[in-house]
Amino acid sequence: MEISRLSTAFIILGFTLVLAGFGLPLFLPKAESWSSLLLTGGGLLLSGYFALHIRTLASLTGSRSARLGLHSIFSVILAATIVALCNFLAARHAPEWDFSETQNFTLSRQTYEVLRKLPREVTIKVFSHEGSPGYGPYQDLLTTYDQESPLVTVEFVDPERQPGVAQDYQITQIDTAVFASGEQKIYVYRPNEAELTNALLRVTRDQKNQLAFLAGHGEASLSDTQSSGLSRVKDALTKQGYELRNLDITQADDSIQASVLIISSPVDPISSDGQQRIAAFVKAGGRLLLMVDPNKPIPIASLLKEWGIELGPGILADAQDRLARGSPTALLVRTFTTHEITEDFTSPILFPVSRSVNFDTHKAASWDFVALAQTSPESWEEMDLTNSQPTFEEGQDTKGPFTVAALLTSKAQGQDGQPLSSIVIIGNSAFATNGYFTYPGNTDFFLKTIAWLAKEDALISITPKDPAFHPFIPNPSQEQALVFFQVLFLPLLTLFLGLSVWKRRRSL
């Protein structure tokens, strides 16, 4: 009687420990040692049960039905073992084939080369969850990165379930990947191969590119957290691994030491000595980002004239490509060139209150001009700067399209094959301020422009793959047409056809 009770306790407790051992890793992934102990204990208890009933089991095997039953059980166990082994081998050594239309899951030769030559360990934390748009692309690409290099460790973190970790890494938006190596951290916001591979290269370098923001002439401040400030630009560039500083050109040395000089729509004039230093910086191979708002003085007009740049006197307006039903001067620019800065853009750029950028080839034969972003043919240049509701007036205003962002590259080439000097001119600076910087197209355009000027894209050149799906972003006129067609026309057409059929049947 005691043996019977003991054997019953053995089998109940044994099965309980085995189930707990298998289920514990699902809730506590780090409790592998406890799981092994539970499985071992459960196995010993089940073995004790069979040892206590060895004679009973032996007597049962004498009958034909028992032998057939044991044969069936053995066959099921054998088949399950074979399936488990196949799954284990497939998970560890499975070959991969990319049957996607655009080969999105096949890494480039340059990426494989970078992964093979990584100098130190890199930890990648992806703050995303399964329902977000970037989760799948991040997983597809970074899983391959992890498999190809033992120095790469990838971890996915759900910021909603682990808000403390997201706060520690200062995560402000979903689908952000943080590359960490040593004391370096690089933040990536778009899951494409070029961004991820360049982040690997940048995070394993100890030297940072320096960006100098011109200060002292009424420019927007990097420390200003108001809507007109540049604190969000500072945060984004710092997370990209850049070193930022304010440059007071009146107190600077004879030469400007920076990878990129950024001038954000100064209000006060720049001295002739300061302009000479800017000209010397560009002539020596420097790279300049110039943003000038309309209806404001041009502080370096003489330099712009020397470079062949002409800024329009009016304000650009567009009743078609604008922000929802706002002012026509709030431009949504959708037309881009195939330059490296804008070639893979899918989101429009919001340029509030912009001016046009033109180029005189006769005055500056040593520069090549490329229009990066342009307004639609329906746009115009409003000359009445006091009109709060601009409308096109024939004879006074000029019809578009207009260039709102352009690139000047020196025809002289450096040792790396890149243009010796480069200048990006944007007829608006407000798009980079705190009030507009979080708009997706604005963030991408600004960061891509800085990366190209700082030669970060030159670390590795990977041609982006054409997406199989091209999103359609309608303008206000198209939105009205879609609303009319879906909300009014289709229901009325259905009603008319239904009444016609009903009337015809009534007349039969």
Q: Are 303 and 360 in contact (CB under 8 A)?
A: no
> DSSP assignment, residue 182?
T
Element (H, E) at 68: helix 64-93
Cα–Cα dist 298/289, whole Å: 14
Check pLDDT > 70 for residue 146. Answer: yes
Identify each DSSP E strand in 94-196 by its residue range: 122-127, 152-157, 176-181, 184-188
Of 82-86, 450-454, 495-499, least confident by mean pLDDT is 82-86
3-state secondary structure 83-99: HHHHHHHHHHHCCCCCC
Instruction: Give me the sign of the Cα torsion angle 87, 88, 89, 92.
Output: positive
User: Where does 162-316 have alpha helices with state H?
Assistant: 163-168, 193-203, 231-239, 272-283, 301-307
pLDDT in tens, 318-347: 877 777 666 788 888 888 888 888 877 778
| pLDDT tens profile 240-266 | 778 888 888 776 565 688 889 999 888
The tally of CA atoms less than 13 A away on the side-chain side of residue 91 is 6
Band of residue 468 on the pLDDT scale cut at 50, 70, 90 = very low
Cα 478 to the center of its chain, rounded Å: 27
**Burial class for 37, CB neighbours closer than 10 Å (0-12, 13-18, 19+):** middle
Q: Which two tokens stand for residue 421?
A: 């000097």
- For residue 294, say if its preceding peptide bond is cis, omega within 30 degrees of 0: no
Query: pLDDT tens for residues 107-137?
Result: 777 788 888 888 889 999 999 988 888 888 8
Cα 423 versus chain centre, distance: 25
Structure confidence by residue, pLDDT tens digits, 65-110: 666 776 677 677 767 767 766 765 565 555 555 555 555 566 777 7
Q: Is the pLDDT of residue 467 over 70?
A: no
Q: Which DSSP state fits 488? A: I
The mean of the pLDDT values for the chain is 79
Least confident of 282-291, 341-350, 374-383, 386-395: 386-395
The pLDDT confidence band at residue 473, using thresholds 50, 70 and 90, is low
pLDDT score, position 54: 63
Contact 225, 468 (CB under 8 A): no
Beta partners for residue 407, in sequence order:
370, 424
Instruction: Return the structure tokens found at 116.
Output: 């093979």
Hey, is 266 helix, strand or coil? coil
Distance CA 446, CA 431 (A): 9
Which of 460 and 348 is assigned the larger pLDDT?
Answer: 348
Mean pLDDT value of segment 21-42: 69
What does the block give as tokens for 95? Answer: 């070959």
- As a whole number, mean pLDDT of residues 374-389 equals 81
Q: Which three-class secondary structure state does DSSP give residue 473?
A: coil
Only one residue has tokens 């115009």, namely 380
